[in-house]
Amino acid sequence: MSILNNRDISEIFYDYQRCWLNDQSRFKIGLWARQTGKDFCAAAEAVFDCHLNAGTTWVVLAAGERQALESIAKAKDWARALDLVIADYTENFAEPEVAATSRRRLKNKKGTMLNSAEIKFANNSRFIALHAKPETVRGYSANLILTEFAFHDDPDAIWRAIYPSISNPLRGGEKKLRIISTPNGLNNKFADLWHNAADYTKHRTDIYEAVKDGLKLDIAKLKTGLNDPDAWTQEYECKFIDTTSILLPYDLIQSCESSDASDSGDLDPVARPARTSPLFLGIDFARKNHLTVAWLIEKVGTTSTSSPIGPHFITRHVLTLRNTPTPDQIAKLRPLLKLVGRASINYTGGGIGLGDYLVQ
């Protein structure tokens, strides 16, 4: 029995989405482009199953709190569309002191961090959304959706935590597994499963296939607006980019991001209040094709500070210059050089002598 037999509901979906929904395989993996409705489809399948089979439980593991709540919102929308009665809805949050220790915490209005959100239907079925962390996913025995799995903080640890529960016949029979994501390089569990898992049915939908099936997007306008060839290749053409030759992996860079950092500030060395902490500047100079980038950081904290993280560096300003004549670039870079005690300059793109010219 399939909910897609209902013509009114079936016509909501594009062909590539119907193909996914009609596939009743136990293990499915979807390589889908951005903005093609993968979470919309995943929530639909789970709620349809809850509607048709009383006592069914689905768990969605999301890369972050925001995405977990969006999955719950989509499930609510589908429940209303099917007149499926919601008996209860709950959200569970971590204690404030626990949330504060999270490396990449996401806060609600009270400053706490979402652990889980759950819809309980009148027929005793459940839809649960979790912020994917190994410590929160253990113990669940349910049908499982891993959404944007390539972007989970520690997908290998999450996989080790959840796979035994969905494969154990002593815990309620064989559970279904749905994995959906856009690519995020080759060095992650999602890429490994996509290329090597033999017992999965695989669905690939890039932006061109989605538009061909009727998705209303202007590809040329979207590509021009994104203006990032690597991002377009991965997130819209669904091609895996090999990042093994990159000096600093993207996930390592992402772990250093902070909401306290900024990309602008008062650069007037006279008007700016005197700083006692040192500033450092890195400049990568370019004349053609690539950007010139100047990155200013400040060393804050000392070994005697009460801060638990001790001395660290915070971005204070980022200057990017594209298609700018060399004299104009130099005019913009010199004020930054006057602020710092030390600068590192890569000026191979500018030629011999540029470094001396900059610091005059």
- Mean pLDDT of the chain, nearest integer: 79
Structure tokens at 287: 């004349």
Predicted local confidence at residue 168, as pLDDT:
66
pLDDT reported for residue 116 = 76
Q: Which of 354, 292, 346 is nearest to 324 (CA)?
A: 292
Summarised one tens digit per residue, pLDDT across range 228-244 is 888 899 999 999 987 65
How far the first Cα of the chain sits from its last, in Å, is 78
Distance CA 257, CA 48 (A): 39
CB burial class (10 A; 0-12, 13-18, 19+) of residue 125?
A: buried
pLDDT at site 346: 81
Element (H, E) at 97: helix 96-100
Q: What is the pLDDT of residue 122?
A: 92
In this predicted structure, what is the pLDDT of residue 307?
A: 53
Can you give the pTM of this predicted structure?
A: 0.63
User: Which segments of the chain have a pLDDT < 70?
Assistant: 1-10, 93-114, 139, 168-173, 243-252, 254-255, 258-276, 288-289, 302-310, 347, 349-360
Contact 274, 337 (CB under 8 A): no
pLDDT by residue (tens digit) across 37-64? 999 999 999 999 999 999 999 999 888 7
